[in-house]
Amino acid sequence: MSCICRDCLGGMSPGPRPHYPSLPRYPKGTSPEATRKARGSEVKALFSVVGMTCAACAGSVEKAVKRLPGIQEAAVDVLNNTALVLYYPSFVNEDKICEAIEDAGFEAKLIKLEMNDKTRQVCRISISGMTCTSCSSTVESALQAIYGVQGAQVALATEEAEIHYDPSIVTSHQLLETIEITGFEAKLISLGEGISKIELQVDGIKVGQSIRAIANTLEALPGVQDIETFPELNKISISYKPEMIGPRTLIEAIESSGSAHFKAMIYPEGEEDTHRQKEIKQYYKFFLWSLFCTVPVFLTSMVLMYIPGIKKVLDVKIVNKLSVGQILRWELSTPVQFIIGKRFYIGAYKALRHGSANMDVLIALGTNAAYFYSVYIVLRSATHKDFKGTDFFETSSMLITFILLGKYLEVLAKGKTSEAIAKLMDLAPEKATLLTLGEEGNVINEQEMDSRLIQKNDLIKVIPGAKVACDGVVMWGQSHVNESMITGEARPVTKKKDDAVIGGTVNVNGVLHIKATRVGSESALSQIVRLVESAQMAKAPVQKFADRISKYFVPVVITLSFSTWLAWFLGGKFHRYPRSWIPSSIDSFELALQFGISVMVIACPCALGLATPTAVMVGTGVGASQGILIKGGHALESAHKVNCIVFDKTGTLTVGKPVVVSTKIFYKMLPQEFYELVAATEVNSEHPLAKAIVEYAKKIREDEENSTWPEAQNFASLTGQGVKAVVRNKEITVGNKSLMLDINIAIPEEAEVALAQTEALAQTGILIAVDNEIAGIIAISDPLKPGAREVISILKSMGVRSIMVTGDNWGTANSIAKETEIETVIAEAKPQHKAENIKDLQASGYTVAMVGDGINDSPALVAADVGMAIGAGTDIAIEAADIVLMKSNLEDVITAIDLSRKTFSRIRLNYIWALGYNVLGIPIAAGVLFPSTRFRLPPWIAGAAMAASSVSVVCCSLLLKNYKRPKKLDILEIHEVRVE
């Protein structure tokens, strides 16, 4: 947005921008109690605002934001193109703030969100009965309107809702009630991110005893969050904090409660079908019954009428012109319309009651028009001797039959889009062997049990060939573990005492005793599953397009349908087209009615609603199977646009395991003495280079077993430069050249020469100063990752520019860049400077991805359009990154971008199909081809086409499951080298 103001025209810098006071912080009519509860739950959000040119622009943005209810404070920085907003999430969310900024004429994007975790909880709810985007939008709007809900996402494809709310204001039961009031069935799946859930069957409850008494006993236990009882099934569902209590403790509490003898066990999984399986069976059963009734209706109206003997029987008149065939068709189509098709009436009623219109409304209107017109024909035939008319019972019954077939195939296909999560969950073994130790530490008992009963600090035995039951630490034994199912890394990893293991991985050889450290929802496998689930819940920005269309789709279609009927009816009544156009079996009213019904049933809002989420579900699932965790549709959409990648050096382009390769001492001291001073200083630092120096110092000291160093006083860490401390009354400074120059330490010529030689070999030169004099140089090498050069070359061929940003010196950075053929290098950059460099690239028009280790690079990962955390291993909870690469392989960067491009091209194809289908189908159904070709779509064929459109969109998305990474990456496996 360009704006005209005196400052701009005069060429002067913008003056002080006006400060707009916040308008009422709470919505009108908010009770004092509600405002009191809102305090303390403030959220701080930082937005990127593109398009501001002067103070007047900043003022417009600030004013637009402060107009919203629930805004406590807003500050706009025109120089950095950002807006910092403090608001109450009970009244407004970040999406509404972005919309307000966009309405003011600028582009807005959320950069960072800081929430008070104490006032935030997350729950996932399964919702059944949604048929199209209109349904999911209705539920989402109802949830977001609840006071205390900070955000809600409803996914049509997964039929689930993820809700962020303040548990002190609203409960999960109130959320369930709201969804049910909206007209859909709701069931709680999980409660809280750090909360596990288990379902127990309680046997031994006698008549008259209440399962609620057991629930009261459990509620008193520490760590128990929520309890749901099912008396008719003798089942209790318990949500609990795994770090405070475990499932075995819960079972013991049940079995010891009261004087009764109860027996508790994990509820058998096979006894209750999942919602998806139930839905598939239900649609299949309805389709079969509908088909059973519809086939005779179709035969009597379309086929048997042309067989002379049978035609004579069907044409037998009962009363006046009422024939046997009409009565038969009426009797068979009525249960299809009102019993099998009842779900469409219910869905239409619920939608209309809440002021929205969905697919069920179109189906109910179309089938009712055909059915009740046919009933009118039958009654008229029975009461008039000379009346001659044709019924359309086959139209309504065949419509419902084909729609049910389409829904059955759609649900079947949608189930396959979430197979990735099912496969991940199946990685956990069913059984585990619990060890009991004696006082002397020897094993005195082994017990096989359900792996879901494992609690924190349990000792678990894992035999060769068995799966590791939970995350833990090896206490005894040595083996190799195949972690490919979690990290995608095919090579077995050696495991010995004190090494960490991941649940779901396979023990290749050797017996291991593992101490459980993370169980239930805390485990790496559960976190991966949750991350993939959240990714599949999140809407891609392109989905907003379908959401906007869905608001007006059904009303527009109903208007078009009525207009079509009216146009053809009036055209026939006033003889605007020849009588020969009308088939002999029907009149002009019936022809117009068929055109109107065809328009109504061929339009399909479902295909539009499923175009994005199904592709995102399959794409994120495929990524997870290859060790690439994509955090939702937004990350996918941004990644496909990436044309510039910024690489961190250490741990990204290089192996990340630096080692000391040479030392030059200019001071008169022995190497042991020199390294003792350096190690005593560096042992306080967490930097990888510091650890390399300390490890090397341990090797050259005489007493290698002694791990203690002299005490360092006045230790100070200077980010991006080095460290300082006083050791043995000597001031020790360890760092790079810029640090020495900043504190005015002269660098002698021989040190400059040695530093240049070190950097020419792609090594990092660390300067050591003792009492403000350069005492030596330590050369540290971090070898380049195998295939790094090839990866940069492939990215170049994909049209992606590669840039390296590092805090290391220019010499080392240029050497690494030369090896990898990266043309642009930014060296000696502090963490905050990396983020600024990325913003400069974005301002130049690039869509930037940042690839880093997810720790020191957090500011840059947040600033980038797509943040990729590489080498995350089991630490998958990297909030800053949009994409988490579980392996340390650079080629996964290419795979992530290629997968996002393939997924987004599939989304485009889905939209082209869904929109093209409606754009072409509706005019054809309305009869635009009829005058020239006499071609028309009977309503039942239009219904079949509508059902087929949704199935085709889902199947198009499912083709992504065949995704193969680029063939160019296969050559990298030949050159693979590993550094242990």
Work out the burial of residue 885: count CB atoms within 10 Å of its CB; fewer than 13 is exposed, 13-18 middle, 19 or more buried: buried
The two most distant CA atoms of the chain are separated, in Å, by 126
Sequence-distant (≥ 6) Cβ neighbours of residue 169 within 8 angstroms: 37, 90, 147, 148
The residue from 648, 782, 853, 865 that is catalytic is 648
Query: Is residue 14 a contact partner of residue 78, using CB atoms and an 8 Å limit?
Result: yes
β-pairing, 722-727 vs 712-718, is antiparallel
What is the DSSP track for 419-470? Answer: HHHHHHHTTS-SEEEEEEE-TTS-EEEEEEEEGGG--TT-EEEE-TTPBP-S
User: Mapping DSSP to helix (H, G, I), strand (E, B) and coil, where does residue 125 land?
Assistant: strand
Phi and psi, residue 246, nearest 5°: -125, 170
Token pair belonging to 321: 């012109």
In 3D space, the residue among 629, 571, 972, 551 whose CA is nearest the CA of residue 786 turns out to be 972
Token pair belonging to 271: 């006894």
- Identify residue 288 by its one-letter amino acid code: L
Query: Is residue 220 a contact partner of residue 227, using CB atoms and an 8 Å limit?
Result: no
Cα 978 to chain centroid distance, Å, stands at 33
**Distance in angstroms (rounded) separating the CA atoms of residues 49 and 72:** 19
Phi and psi, residue 454, nearest 5°: -65, 135
Respond yes or no: is residue 703 known to be catalytic.
Answer: no
Helix axes 939-958, 891-926, angle to 10 degrees: 180
**Distance in angstroms (rounded) separating the CA atoms of residues 484 and 493:** 10
Tell me the sheet residues that pair with 460: 434, 514
Phi and psi, residue 154, nearest 5°: -120, 125
In 3D space, the residue among 788, 776, 808, 775 whose CA is nearest the CA of residue 689 turns out to be 808
β-pairing, 196-203 vs 160-165, is unpaired
In 3D space, the residue among 365, 330, 375, 329 whose CA is nearest the CA of residue 344 turns out to be 365
Q: What angle do CA 340, 342, 345 make, to 5 degrees?
A: 145
Q: Where would I find the H helices in 456-542?
A: 484-487, 524-537
- Which uninterrupted H or E stretch holds 912? helix 891-926
Burial string for 44-65 (b: 16+ CB within 10 Å, else e) reads ebbbbbebbbbbbbbbbbbbbb
Residues in the chain: 980
Tell me the sheet residues that pair with 264: 202
The total of other beta-carbon atoms located within 10 Å of residue 171's CB is 15
| CA quadruple 970, 974, 975, 980: dihedral sign | positive
Judged by phi (left if over 0) then psi (alpha if -120 to 50, else beta), residue 109 lies in: beta
Work out the burial of residue 602: count CB atoms within 10 Å of its CB; fewer than 13 is exposed, 13-18 middle, 19 or more buried: buried
**Distance in angstroms (rounded) separating the CA atoms of residues 615 and 912:** 14
User: Mapping DSSP to helix (H, G, I), strand (E, B) and coil, where does residue 644 land?
Assistant: strand
Tell me the sheet residues that pair with 732: 725, 770
CA distance readout (Å), 879 to 111, 126, 267, 621: 12, 26, 35, 20
Token pair belonging to 753: 């020469």
**Distance in angstroms (rounded) separating the CA atoms of residues 418 and 621:** 7
Active site residues: 648
